[in-house]
Amino acid sequence: MSHAASAEPHGHPALQHHFENMEQQREAGTLGMWVFLVTEIMFFGGMFLAYTLYRSAYPSAFASASNHLDITMGAVNTGVLILSSFTMAMSVYFTQIGKSRPQILCLIATIILGLTFLGIKAVEYRQKYEDSLIPGRLIPTRPFNPAVAYEGEVNEHKLHLIGNATVHQVELFYWIYFAMTGMHALHMIIGAGLLTFLLYFSIKGRYGPEYHSPVEVIGLYWHFVDIVWIFLFPLLYLLGRHLEHV
Amino acid sequence: MKEFEAFDLPQPSKVNYINAQYGLKSWLLTKDHKRIALLYLGSITFFFFIGGLYAMMIRLELLTPQGDLLQSTTYNKVFTQHGIIMVFFFLIPSIPATLGNFLVPMMIGAKDLAFPRINLLSWYIYMAGGLITIYALLAGGVDTGWTFYTPFSTTFSNSYVVAAGLGIFINGFSSILTGLNFIVTIHTMRAPGMTWFRLPLFIWSHYATSLVMILGTPVIAITVLLLAFERVARVGIFDPALGGDPILFQHLFWFYSHPAVYIMVLPSMGVVSELIANFSRKNIFGYKFVAFSSLAIAVFGFLVWGHHLFVASQSVYAGMIFSFLSFAVAIPSAIKVFNWTATLYKSSISFDTPMLYALGFIGLFTVGGMTGLFLAAVAVDVHLSDTYFIVAHFHYIMVGGALMGYLGGLHYWWPKISGRMYPEGWGRFSALVIFVGFNLTFLPQFVAGYLGMPRRYHAYPPEFQVFNVLSSAGASILGFGMLIPAIYFVWSMRYGKVAESNPWHLPGLEWRTQSPPPTENFEATPIVTWEAYEFAPPEETQVVGKFAGELETA
């Protein structure tokens, strides 16, 4: 190996051989994550397009289906995720100023909040399963077959169709709901795994003011996953609720 | 005699990236971008061979108007699999994953790509996707066409759509990771003095390609995933019976798959820019125009997908806008062609094999591009949609463009990659055979298509036979022409003349290190003090250097 032309002295154990210095390595890592997040936006973009298209085609079906979602759980989950973004940002901050103990505590808090989100999401999924709202034959033993409420009936386990909405159109909404929130939950699970990895090496004392790019980069990912939810919550749970009494 | 400054060239050394380590493990676990490039080279050649076998079966079946060699169902699978293998497993990774992988770090003076482990991971992902796709082919094949149009693919096809789709889905991530690696490398790993406008044009075109890869590929990934769920679980997103819209699939599919054509041809344009400038020993005409036209193609390429939907219930106004934008994307392509030809003007051209491919590229790409304009015109396209005119058009771009650039680049950098020279006489001969064979294969298809021969049928009316016989004859010449380099490249690895570090006497950074390069690429990080494509005076063809004085103006 030859480092003859390197401008700066180096010797940090985390410096990989093909980088000249820690600054270059940090820049590459951060830019890499930003580029990756761009691909993620495009990935979710396909589903956002499908949402937009079918919502404009079947507004009353989307309102009917959206009304059936549990807005309280959705709202609580939104709060949980925003809080987790805060603890993540604090963890990055404490790494940069070299305070190891609060950094580790913030990481643990982020992981717990992430798991709380997933737990609440699981409860919501279970309710949809019980109401036979899982689209198509995704669960072969329980195909999409919700009970439809008659005019004026009040039953939160039955589907209240508004206007000219049909059950098939509601199914389309639920497929988009499960595709988007499911893909989001998958990203949360991967994120929780990455945070556990960070926690392990933080406890071993690997990160500090000189070397904090893994904490930053995984933090970026975590914020991205949160932001996706910030879009999903209003689109799936809130928009169209005003049509309820039409 | 004009003054010039000669460059120091490295002393040959016995240790290089190929013999630095031995054993299967040293290859399968390598993080060296050059070795990963060779892993890709081997695997894409394998897939090219499979895709070529399917092409041979198509051309044999179409020799006669009756469906005598293959039944219609088998034929459907054969052309589908030809398309899937060639597009996703050969053309898209071809130049970026092999030549790009090898050369991007070397051309900018870096030791490796920014993320060597991710680079290796991308090859494993590619192989996983490839093996799943091969499983789909062996288990019974796919018959939807490489376009997977719904609702046929979701509801009616009785073939292995999900397995093939999964293979393509997985393979997409290898493309994304390669693009990501290139973008980060080009941004953060340039050697001191290597400013953006000193970058070789190969780098600019790979940067543009990488943009298309990271912006387009995730969309095909989610589209294929939704398609698979639709097929398995009948969730309704593309199914009109359940309120879904099958045209949504076409929009999403072409949002990636049209730009994917630029993933294939942009790197090839980068190779051709290198070849034209270096083999005419003259600075490229209009460097910035050529560089920015790559970016313009990448950007415009995302706005033209609707020209695949002129006959698919798209609104007239959308059709008009997409038509206009499709005409517009021809402008940056034309800028390149004009600048290449202007570079040739009054230069000292040497007709080595790589240059023959580059000149062939210019001609064939021009034909492919111009016929693309016919198809961008809505009214003409209605007549030509789904005929052999389309088939001929995109083969002129994908084979006449992408493949010619790939072969040209492979010959040009072969001394650097392998440390051996290929046999020049055989090289020129095969380049000519490929050029003749290619034109004989695809020129008649323009005529047959214009006269109304539809694509994707195993039988056709007898009046089209003459074009198909010509085409099949050309295909056999083309196939023979392709075999020659396959043989002599392998031969040259052992028996070829040992290459100097700079056999073409060129100024690019990749030529300023030994052949084959050491694992770290350069003995010391280079410091760049020269512009791209600076040559010694034309009469000093053996000298590698740059003008020391003022450039003389003509």
Question: What tens digit of pLDDT does each residue of A81-120 get?
Answer: 999 999 999 999 999 999 999 999 999 999 999 999 999 9
Which chain B residues contact residue A51 at CB under 8 A? none
User: Is residue B547's pLDDT more than 80?
Assistant: no
Which chain A residues contact residue B252 at CB under 8 A? 46, 49
Q: Is A175 on the interface with B (CB under 8 A)?
A: yes
Mean pLDDT (whole number) for B240-258: 93
Confidence of residue A7 (pLDDT cuts 50, 70, 90): very low
**How close does chain B come to A239, measured CA to CA in Å?**
21
Does residue A117 lie within any of the structural domains? yes
φ, ψ at B498 (rounded to 5°): -65, 130
Q: Which of A4, A18, A169 sits opposite B112 (nearest CB)?
A: A18
Distances (CA, A) of B444 to B279, B439, B462, B464, B543: 32, 8, 15, 10, 46
Range of the structural domain that residue A167 is part of? 44-245
CA distance A106 to B171: 37
CA distance B394 to B368: 7
**How close does chain A come to B459, measured CA to CA in Å?**
38
Does residue A31 lie within any of the structural domains? no
Q: What 3-state DSSP class applies to A5?
A: coil
How many Cβ contacts (< 8 angstroms) between chains A and B?
130
- Structural domains of chain B, with CATH: 4-547 (1.20.210.10)
CA distance B235 to B250: 18
Determine which of B173, B222, B225, B252 to mutate to test the interface with A (most A C-beta atoms within 10 Å). Answer: B222
Q: Contact A42/B234, CB-based, under 8 Å?
A: no
User: Is residue A150's pLDDT more than 90?
Assistant: no
**How close does chain A come to B368, measured CA to CA in Å?**
30
Give the pair of three-digit tokens for residue B549: 């004085």
User: Is residue A245's pLDDT more than 60?
Assistant: no
Does residue A28 lie within any of the structural domains? no
A:34-63 residues touching chain B, CB 8 A cutoff:
35-36, 38-40, 42-47, 49-50, 53-54, 57-58
Confidence of residue B534 (pLDDT cuts 50, 70, 90): confident
Mean pLDDT (whole number) for B322-346: 96
Chain A residue at shortest CA distance from B243: A169
Q: Is A2 on the interface with B (CB under 8 A)?
A: yes
Q: In angstroms, what is the C-alpha Rg of chain A?
A: 23
Does residue A33 lie within any of the structural domains? no
Q: Contact B219/A43, CB-based, under 8 Å?
A: yes
Determine which of A35, A62, A187 to mutate to test the interface with B (most B C-beta atoms within 10 Å). Answer: A35
Q: Is A15 on the interface with B (CB under 8 A)?
A: no
Residues 6+ apart with CB under 8 A from B456: B76, B79, B145, B386
Q: Contact B116/A18, CB-based, under 8 Å?
A: yes
User: Is residue B549's pLDDT more than 60?
Assistant: no
Q: Contact B229/A179, CB-based, under 8 Å?
A: yes
Query: Which DSSP state fits A148?
Result: B
H/E stretch holding B547 reads: strand B545-547
A:101-160 residues touching chain B, CB 8 A cutoff:
135-138
Does residue A174 lie within any of the structural domains? yes
**How close does chain B come to A128, measured CA to CA in Å?**
15
Chain B residue at shortest CA distance from A6: B525
Does residue A193 lie within any of the structural domains? yes
Largest CA distance in chain A: 82
Number of domains forming the structure of chain A:
1
Confidence of residue B296 (pLDDT cuts 50, 70, 90): very high
Q: Contact A31/B184, CB-based, under 8 Å?
A: yes
Chain A residue at shortest CA distance from B181: A32
Q: What angle do CA B137, B50, B452 make, to 5 degrees?
A: 85
In this predicted structure, what is the pLDDT of residue B268?
A: 97
Which chain A residues contact residue B237 at CB under 8 A? 50, 172, 175-176, 179
Q: Contact B188/A28, CB-based, under 8 Å?
A: yes
In terms of C-beta distances under 8 Å and separation of at least 24 residues, what long-range contacts does B460-463 make, across chains too? Answer: B460/B62, B460/B65, B461/B65, B462/B65
**How close does chain B come to A131, measured CA to CA in Å?**
17
Which chain B residues contact residue A49 at CB under 8 A? 248, 252
In this predicted structure, what is the pLDDT of residue A242?
A: 60
In this predicted structure, what is the pLDDT of residue A2?
A: 39
Confidence of residue B462 (pLDDT cuts 50, 70, 90): very high
CATH number at residue A133: 1.20.120.80
Q: Contact A137/B189, CB-based, under 8 Å?
A: no
CA distance B510 to B517: 9
Mean pLDDT (whole number) for B295-303: 96
Does residue A12 lie within any of the structural domains? no
In this predicted structure, what is the pLDDT of residue B3?
A: 59
Question: pLDDT tens, B37-76?
Answer: 999 999 999 999 999 999 999 999 999 999 999 999 999 9
Which chain A residues contact residue B117 at CB under 8 A? none
What is the number of H-type helices and E-type strands within chain B? 18, 2
- Model's pTM, two decimal places? 0.94
